[in-house]
Amino acid sequence: MDDLEQVILAYVKKEYVDEDDDREVTPTTPLISGGIVDSFSMVSLKRFVEKKYDIQIPDADASTAAFDTVQKIVALVERFRKVHS
Amino acid sequence: MTATLVESSWEVAERELGLQPGGPVNIGWYCTDRICELGRRDVPALIWEDFRGVERTYTFDDLRLKTNAMAAWLQGLGLKPGDRICLFMDRVPELYLGVLAILKMGGVAQPLFSAFGEESLGTRLANAGTAAIVTQKKHLSKVRKIRDTLPELRSVIVVDAPPGTLKENEIALALDALPACQRFEVHPTTAESPSLLHYTSGTTGQPKGAQHVHGSLVAQYITTRRVLDLRDDDIYWCNADPGWVTGTSYGIIGPWACGTTQVVLDAGFNAEHWYAFIQKRRVTVWYSAPTAIRLLMREGTDLVRKFDLSSLRHLCSVGEPLNPEAVVWSQQAFGRPFLDTFWQTETGCIVITNLPGMPVKPGSMGKPFPGITACVLDPQTNEPITETGRVGLIALRPGWPSMLRGYWKNPSAYEKKFRNGWYICGDRASVDADGYFWFVGRDDDVINTGGHLVGPFEIESALLEHPAVAESAAVSKPDPINMEVVKAFVVLKPGHVPSADLELEIMNVIRKRLSPLAMPQEIEFVASLPKTRSGKIVRRILRAQEWGQPVGDISTLMEE
C-alpha cells in the first residue's frame, strides 16, 4: 500500500504541480477540489494508474470524488486490482 | 393607428446608466465609483474564498480605492492607454480587481486561463504584442520559459511573490498593501475605446483575439438585469473563470455594474463543497454550466437534500447546449430549472436566451434577447430560413453594443464572420413555431469541450512537435459530461510503435504545453488519415465516425 501511495504521489507531484507552486502535496491533499488536478487532467491520471497497475476503472467509478486525493486513488486501485485478480 | 414609442433594451440601459451619446464611458469607473456614488459603498462587492476556506472581502468602496491604486501603480510602471496587459491568474481577487484597474487607466485587459501551458500562453501574448503580464508565483515558470521570445513584453508582475524570490526583471505587486488612492483620473474612454481582448479558437490558424470596447457595458448591464435578473439584494455566484468571456462579462462587468454582491469560490469541483458554499453564502442567483450541472447530477439529489439551498431563486446556464435531462433534474433538485443562455466570445453578451418568466422548453436555447435580431440562415442562399424546424446557421444582425469590433491584427478573419449582412456565429440550429431556437451543433471543426472552444489546428500543431508524430488530426468525440472531448488520430513516424506509454506521454505533452482542455482524452494510432486529392486532412470523416453519423461525400478523397 505504501509503495502504491508513494508511486502515485510522486507521479502527481511530477506531472500536475507547477515548478513554482510551493504547496505541499501529501496523500490527503485535495487534488480535484484543491485545484491541482482538473476534471480534464483527471483522465490522464486515470490512464496512468490503469496502465501502471494493469487495471480498468469503469467511468462510473472514476468520479471526481474518487480521484480527489492520492489516498482515495490508492483505495480505488486496490479495489480494482482485487477485482482483476 | 397610434404610434407607440417603445424604448429599446439598449436605450433603457443607457438611461439607467446615465450614459450620454458620445460621452465618456469607462467600465472600470461604472463598476466601482458609480456604485459608490449611488450609495452602495459599504455593500460587499466581492466575497472570495479558496478551497481551504481562506476569505477576503471587498466592499464597493474597497473596489474603488484598490482599482484606483492599482491603475496608478500600473501607470507608474510606464504602461500607457492602449497597452495590452495580460492577467494570468487563478480566480484570486487580484484578477477581478486587476481587470477594472487596467480599464480605468485605459489599458486593454487580456485575461488568459491560468491552466494554459507555455505554448498557448506564448502564442496569445505574441499575437497581442502584450506589454505586461500580471501573474502568480505558481504560474511564473511558464512565463519565464517564453519571456525571451516576447520582445514587446516589458513588465512581468507577480502578485504573491515572497521577498527575494523574483528575478531582477520581475516586479512584485501586493495589492492589499498598496496605499488607498482616493482620486484617480480615470482615462476618458468612450463607447468605442478598446477594453478587453479575449482569445478564441477557430477551425484554421492560431487563436484570434476578439476585440471588445467599453460600450459593451450597455449590453452586459441590461442582460445581467433582465436575464440573470440581478437585484440589489442578491448574492450572485458565477462559476466561470475570467480567463474566459463569461467570467468577465458576467463575472465582473455585469454584476458590478448593477452594484450586486458576488461570491467567488477559487476551488476545483466538489459537489459537497459547492452546496456547502451556496448554503453558507446564501447564494440567490447562480450562473453555471452544463458540464458542472451534469457532474452534480452524477452525485444525485440525496446529496442536495443534505443542504439548505432555499436561498436559490434563479438559475442560468451557459457554455454549451443544456440537455433536457439537466433542466428536468434541476427542477427536481433545486425546485427550479436552469435556464439556458446562448452567446459566445464574439457577442460579448447573452444573445439568445430563456428569460425569467418565459415558458421553458427543455433543450431549447430560448429566444433572441430583445434588441437582438437573430435568425437561422440557409447556408446556400444566405437568406433567413422562414420554415420552422429547418436547420441553418445561427446569424445575428450586427450592431448590438457588445459585438466584437474585430479580431486583433486579423481583419480577414473578421470579414469571414459575415454573410449577406449577417454575423455568423458558427453554430447550427432550427427555430420552432413559437420562435424558440434549438441548437444542433457547430458548423466547423472547432471542439466545444466543457463549454470551452478548442481549435484543432493548435492541437495538431503541438502534436506534430512530438518526435514520434508524423501526422495528426484532432476532432471531437461525444462525452456524457463535457458534451465533447478531444480525440486525436495519430500517424507515427517510422521506427515508432503504438503503445499505452506513448499515448500517455503524448497526452501529457499536450496538457502541459497547451492546456488540459486541449489534451486528447483518447489517441488512436492509425496507418493513414483521410485526405483530399490535394492532400488536406478531412477531419469531418473522422468526426462522423466518432459520432456515428454518415460520412457524407467522399468522392474527393485521395485513394489509398
| Residue B203 clears pLDDT 90, i.e. is over it | no
Instruction: With H, G, I as helix, E, B as strand and everything else as coil, classify residue B437.
Output: strand
Q: Give the mean model confidence (pLDDT) for residues B153-177.
A: 94
Q: Give the mean model confidence (pLDDT) for residues B430-436.
A: 97
Q: What CATH number has the domain bearing residue A70?
A: 1.10.1200.10
Domain region containing A11: 2-18+25-84
Q: Give the mean model confidence (pLDDT) for residues B205-229.
A: 96
CA–CA separation, B254 and B220 (whole Å): 5
- Kindly indicate the confidence band of residue B3, based on its pLDDT and cuts at 50, 70 and 90: very low
At B560 the pLDDT is: 52
At B4 the pLDDT is: 53
Task: Express each pLDDT in B394-417 by its tens digit.
Answer: 999 999 999 999 999 999 999 999
Residue B493's Cβ-count burial label (10 Å; 0-12, 13-18, 19+) is exposed
CA–CA separation, B298 and A15 (whole Å): 27
Phi, psi (rounded to 5 degrees) for B448: -100, 100
Query: Computed over its alpha carbons, how large is the radius of gyration of chain B?
Result: 23
| Residue B1 clears pLDDT 90, i.e. is over it | no
Question: What's the complex ipTM?
Answer: 0.93
Whole-angstrom distance between the N-terminal and C-terminal Cα of chain A? 16
Task: Express each pLDDT in A1-53 by its tens digit.
Answer: 569 999 999 999 999 998 777 788 999 999 998 989 998 999 999 999 999 99
Lowest mean pLDDT among B51-65, B401-415, B440-454: B440-454
Task: Express each pLDDT in B507-533 by its tens digit.
Answer: 999 999 999 999 999 999 999 999 888
Task: Express each pLDDT in B101-142 by its tens digit.
Answer: 999 999 999 999 999 999 999 999 999 999 999 999 999 999
Closest CA to B365 of B356, B355, B354, B351: B354
Name the more confident of B4 and B365: B365
Chain B neighbors of A39, CB-CB under 8 A: 268-269, 291, 295, 450, 481
| Residue B285 clears pLDDT 90, i.e. is over it | yes
Is the Cβ of B241 closer than 8 Å to some Cβ of chain A? no
* β-bridge pairing B44-50 and B261-266: parallel
At B514 the pLDDT is: 95
Which chain A residue has the Cα nearest residue B452? A40
| Residue B189 clears pLDDT 80, i.e. is over it | yes
Residue B485's Cβ-count burial label (10 Å; 0-12, 13-18, 19+) is buried
Could A64 and B270 be called an inter-chain contact, meaning their C-beta atoms sit closer than 8 Å?
yes
Mean per-residue pLDDT of chain B: 94
Is the Cβ of B145 closer than 8 Å to some Cβ of chain A? no
Could A44 and B298 be called an inter-chain contact, meaning their C-beta atoms sit closer than 8 Å?
no
Q: Give the mean model confidence (pLDDT) for residues B9-22.
A: 94
The angle that helices B456-464 and B118-128 make with each other, rounded to 10 degrees, is 120
Lowest mean pLDDT among A55-59, B25-29, B33-37, B182-186: A55-59
Query: Based on the structure, what is the number of domains in chain A?
Result: 1
**How close B274 comes to chain A (CA, Å)?**
10
At B5 the pLDDT is: 61
At B201 the pLDDT is: 86
Angle at B241 between CA B415 and CA B512, to 5 degrees: 85
Element spanning B355, H or E: none
Task: Express each pLDDT in B318-377 by its tens digit.
Answer: 998 899 999 999 999 999 999 999 999 999 999 999 999 999 999 999 999 999 999 999
Q: Give the mean model confidence (pLDDT) for residues A58-73.
A: 93
At A84 the pLDDT is: 61
Domains and CATH numbers, chain B: 9-428 (3.40.50.12780), 447-547 (3.30.300.30)
At B287 the pLDDT is: 98
* β-bridge pairing B522-525 and B483-492: parallel
| Residue B541 clears pLDDT 80, i.e. is over it | yes
User: Are B33 and B67 contacting, i.e. CB atoms less than 8 angstroms apart?
Assistant: no
* H-only helix segments in B258-323: 271-281, 290-299, 301-305
At B37 the pLDDT is: 98
* β-bridge pairing B352-353 and B367-368: antiparallel
**How close B51 comes to chain A (CA, Å)?**
6
Is the Cβ of B481 closer than 8 Å to some Cβ of chain A? yes
The partner residue sitting opposite A19, judged by closest CB among B141, B268, B501, is B141
Is the Cβ of B140 closer than 8 Å to some Cβ of chain A? yes
Query: What percentage of chain B exceeds 70 in pLDDT?
Result: 98
Chain A neighbors of B141, CB-CB under 8 A: 18-20
CA–CA separation, B194 and B50 (whole Å): 32
Instruction: With H, G, I as helix, E, B as strand and everything else as coil, classify residue B171.
Output: strand
At A45 the pLDDT is: 97
**How close A1 comes to chain B (CA, Å)?**
23
Name the more confident of B78 and B320: B78
Task: Express each pLDDT in B490-500 by its tens digit.
Answer: 999 999 999 99
| Residue B90 clears pLDDT 60, i.e. is over it | yes
| Residue B205 clears pLDDT 80, i.e. is over it | no
At A2 the pLDDT is: 64
- Kindly indicate the confidence band of residue B559, based on its pLDDT and cuts at 50, 70 and 90: low
